[in-house]
Each structure stands twice: as structure tokens, then as C-alpha cells.
Amino acid sequence: MKLLLVLPLIIPLTAAGLSLLVWRSRVAQRAVGLIGMAALFVVAVLLLSAVMKHGICATQVGDWPAPFGITLVADTFSALMVLLAATIGLAVTVYSVGAMDPQRESFGYYPLLCVLLMGVCGAFLTGDLFNLYVWFEVMLIASFVLLVLGGERPQMEGAIKYVTLNLVSSAILLSAVGIVYGLTGTLNMADLAGRLRQIEMEDAGQGSFVTAVAMMFLVAFGIKAAAFPLFFWLPASYHTPPAAVSAVFAGLLTKVGVYGLIRVFTLLFVHDIGFTHGLIALIGCVTMVTGVLGAAAQNEFRRILSFHIVSQIGYMILALGMFTGAALAGAVFFIMHNIIAKSCLFLVSGVAHRIRGTYELSRLGGLYRDYPFLAVLFFIPAMALAGIPPLSGFFAKLAIIKAGLDIQEYVLVATALLVGILTLFSMTKIWAEAFWKSAPQEVDHQPATTAPRAAGYDRATRIMLIPVIFLAAMTVLAGVGAEPLLGLFSRAADELLDTTRYIRVVLEVRS
């Protein structure tokens, strides 16, 4: 049990260390990466099932008792996020075996991926505010290097925006953590929750101060989650690295920001819900609309998808802003759906790039005729993203919209529905341009006379298709099995709203 909490950190670190030891052999690095990610996935499954069985669990690292040392804690939400991270990690590693170029592989691609995953898992599992910041940094530094690995010109340009904005956000986060420590004298999140309530009760004047700190956290995590108005680093950078790296970024990194928001705005800053969460809901709405409108103006496969990440972050933030059990369950559902579907779409874009050599929609085309199977694999997550039943996105959106109707926030609901239609528009655009229309002449380098109509996939592409099939199947399953999943997500939401259990488990464990 305690072991399961630290294994999601130990396994990626071991894999990173081992693959550095076998630096010279790309094959060995691949093997270490694959085994590490597979082990992480297994551990994540075990962790989730343990949390399901025993409830929230915690361990005190280094045997320092709770408010002083660093606590690792897993509730249903954390465990789910770790499982999703491990799923994407495994899928992307398998994909990379087929897709990654030898140069990037021999310059530390697999160790970096492992370190990235360690940072993501650490952020999900920690129960300490400063430690959360540290895991964010671990994750960001690995992502900086992954973003520029290969050193192509557009990568550098994207990386400058990405690194700058993220460093600013880290500075704000660190300042906010410092102020919280000055205010309360503790960094343990469970302990903080109690102290902040106490401060509220003792001195009403301090309340506005707490709100100010809450806003700093909102800005810091908002930048990392790519929420309006500081989202522009994301569409500027996510289309520049190879598709595998884009997929892991798109699937995981912004969601860690959303996780941070959900964690602090359910556990710590719930003193003035009308203001803070009202603002969050507003930001969510604006983020949705800007993201989806930005996407409509794009003509590059991955840039459209990048803007849609922004738009979909809006849904999650909106659901947090509604702050009811049903809405939070919807948010968790949406995060799950989005991580899987979005990574899957990015991986498909990589396959299309491998086949046609471009991401530009104007130069793509005819993929449906030549590669019908790939077209199906795009269609499933794309329609899930647009919210077409019976796929995962439909139920995720339904849960959020229903939660909005319950609290009579009709404007928010109307916005969410409108954005859904515009999402469908973007997805149809990719479908029509890349898959449906006939291939433009100058790139049709496989004339029908020499190659058969149904052009085959080479070996590397077949490896790349394995994770795509897996993720697409998960999207379908999450839609078909929405009922039991929603039960799981409601449980996660209950634990987020009823913070007493979390606090009790963290502060009372003595191991």
C-alpha cells in the first residue's frame, strides 16, 4: 500500500537512470523505456484499485510526521490521474519506438520522457504545496528539453514562448507558495486547509489577503493550464516538436495545471466561493470560446488540435467554477476523455505526417481513400472530442452541462453547447481536408498505376498504429461504459468536496 504510493516515482526514475547507463545503445534505451512505462502502468492500475478498496491513502516520506515532512497522498482523483498519465506514457513510448528518429533517440529522448512522467506523477501524488511546485519544475525542465530536442528552427521559436511563459508562471507560483507559508507557517496542504479556515474565522480582514493569494495561484496554474488570457504559448509551441512529444504534452502537461487548480480550489481556497469560483467559471467560458474560434482560423493539423486543447481546458475550468459534486465529476470525466482523445488525435496526425510528409491541411488529402483504417482511427477520437454519442466526449460534456442546468447557469450551458458545435466544425474541417478530399496532385507521389489503391503501412507505421488503436478503443469503451465510470468520478468528486477525509488521513497517519 505505502509502496504503491512511491513506486510511480521510483519506476520512472529507475528507468531514466538505467537508460542513461545504456546511453550508447538505442535499442537498450527503448527496451528500458518500454519496460519502465509498462511497469508504471501496472503500478498505476494497482494504486487505483487499492484506493478504491481502502479509500484515501498516504505515506510520510522519510518518516517525518505529517505537517513537517512531505506527504504523498492518493485519493481517487490523484490515482485516476496517475493511471491516465501512465497510460499516455506507455502509449507514447510504444509509438516512439516506431516514430522517433535515431538522432533524438540517441540524445536522451527516453530518459527525458521518463523524467517527465516522474514529474507528472509526483505532482499528482504530493500532499505538500512546495513539493507540488518542485514536481512542476521537474516536469517543466524535462518538457523544455523534449521541446527543443532535435534543434529545428520552428522548435526553437516555439520553445522561447513556452519557456518564458512557464518560467513566469513558476515564479508566480513560488511567490504564492511563499506568501502562504508566511501567512500560515505550513505547507502541508491538509494542514493548510485547516489553518486557512482558522484565519478566516479569527480575523475577517485577512480574508481578502487569502483571496489575493488564491488569485496568484489562479494565475500561476492558469498559465500552466493554458487558460484565457495567457494561453498563447500553447498553440505557438505544441505543433513544433515530433508528434509523439506533442501527444504527451497535449495529453498531460496542461492537465497537470488543471489538476493544480482543482486541488487548491477544492481543498484550500473555498472561503469566498461566490467570487473565486465565479471568476473561474467566467475564465472557463472565455477560454472555451477563444480556443475554439482560434482553431477555426487554423489550417494546420496540429495547430487546430492545439487550439482545441485550450478550448477544452475551458470546459474543465468551467466545471470547477460551478463547484458542485456533479460538475466536479463531470470535470474529472472530461479530463479523462480529453487526455485520451487528444493524445490519440496527435498520434494520428503523426501517422498522417509519416505517410504524406506534411501537417498542412491543404497538402494533405485522400487519406480516406488510401488508408481507410487510419481514417476510422481519426474519426473516433475526433467525434469524441466534438461530443458525438456514444463516445466518451458526449457523456463528459453531458455531465458538465447537466450540472450547469442543475444550478441554473444557463449562460454557461449555452456557451458550452455552442463551443461543442464549433468543435464539430473544426473536426469536420480536418476530416474533409485531410481524409475526404482527393489528394492534391503534387504530393500524390504514389500514382495508382504503380501502387495498389489500399497502400500498405510499413513496419514502423504499424508500430505507431498500436497505441492509436488502443487509445481509440479506450475512447469507445469510456463512452459505452460511461455509467460505471461516472460512479467512479462521482466518488472522486465527493472526496474533493468533502475535504475532512483527506485532511484526517494525511494528518493522522503515523507509520
Partner 1 sequence: MKSVILSTASRLVHPLLLMFSVFLLLRGHNEPGGGFSGGLMAASAFVLHALAHDAQTARRALKVQPQTLIGAGLLAALAAGIVALAIGEPFLTGSWTSFHMPGLGEWTLGTPLLFDVGVYLVVVGVSMLIILSMAED
Contact residues for partner 1, defined by CB under 8 A: 2-3, 6, 10, 13-14, 16-21, 23-24, 59-63, 72, 108, 111, 511
Q: Which is nearer to partner 1, 11 or 380 (CB)?
A: 11
Shortest Å, Cβ 22 to partner 1:
8
Q: Which is nearer to partner 1, 15 or 236 (CB)?
A: 15
Q: Round to the nearest angstrom and report the end-to-end CA distance of the chain.
A: 12
- Alpha-carbon distance of 236 to 249, in angstroms, equals 13
Shortest Å, Cβ 168 to partner 1:
25
Shortest Å, Cβ 181 to partner 1:
22
Cell numbers for 146: 523534449
Structural contact between residues 225 and 317, judged by C-beta atoms closer than 8 angstroms: yes
Closest CA to 60 of 505, 498, 499, 496: 505
Q: Which is nearer to partner 1, 19 or 240 (CB)?
A: 19
C-alpha pair distances (Å), 458 with each of 245, 342, 370, 455? 21, 24, 14, 10
Cell 476510422, residue located: 376
What is the DSSP-derived secondary structure letter of residue 126?
B
Q: Which is nearer to partner 1, 10 or 424 (CB)?
A: 10
- Alpha-carbon distance of 358 to 339, in angstroms, equals 24
Phi, psi dihedral angles at 330 (to 5 degrees)? -60, -40
Shortest Å, Cβ 75 to partner 1:
19
Cell numbers for 318: 468551467
Shortest Å, Cβ 145 to partner 1:
12
Q: Which is nearer to partner 1, 72 or 383 (CB)?
A: 72
Q: Which is nearer to partner 1, 132 or 180 (CB)?
A: 132
Q: Which is nearer to partner 1, 3 or 418 (CB)?
A: 3
Structural contact between residues 342 and 385, judged by C-beta atoms closer than 8 angstroms: yes
Structural contact between residues 194 and 133, judged by C-beta atoms closer than 8 angstroms: no
Structural contact between residues 318 and 448, judged by C-beta atoms closer than 8 angstroms: no
Total length of the chain: 511
Structural contact between residues 244 and 147, judged by C-beta atoms closer than 8 angstroms: no
Q: How many H-runs (helices) and E-runs (strands) does the chain carry?
A: 22, 2
- Alpha-carbon distance of 19 to 14, in angstroms, equals 8
Q: Which is nearer to partner 1, 18 or 329 (CB)?
A: 18
Q: For 325-409, where are the alpha helices, taking DSSP H only?
A: 325-356, 367-370, 372-386, 392-406
Shortest Å, Cβ 64 to partner 1:
9
Q: Which is nearer to partner 1, 54 or 453 (CB)?
A: 54
Shortest Å, Cβ 62 to partner 1:
4
- Alpha-carbon distance of 404 to 488, in angstroms, equals 20
Structural contact between residues 231 and 290, judged by C-beta atoms closer than 8 angstroms: yes
Shortest Å, Cβ 190 to partner 1:
17
Residue 63, by phi and psi: left (phi above 0), alpha (psi -120 to 50) or beta?
A: left
DSSP notation for 231-250? -THHHHHTTSS-HHHHHHII
Q: Which is nearer to partner 1, 17 or 357 (CB)?
A: 17
Shortest Å, Cβ 61 to partner 1:
5
Shortest Å, Cβ 89 to partner 1:
18
Helix (H, G, I), strand (E, B) or coil at 461: helix
Q: Which is nearer to partner 1, 23 or 410 (CB)?
A: 23
* Bridge partner residues of 450 (DSSP): none
Q: Which is nearer to partner 1, 10 or 488 (CB)?
A: 10
Shortest Å, Cβ 119 to partner 1:
14
- Alpha-carbon distance of 112 to 89, in angstroms, equals 12
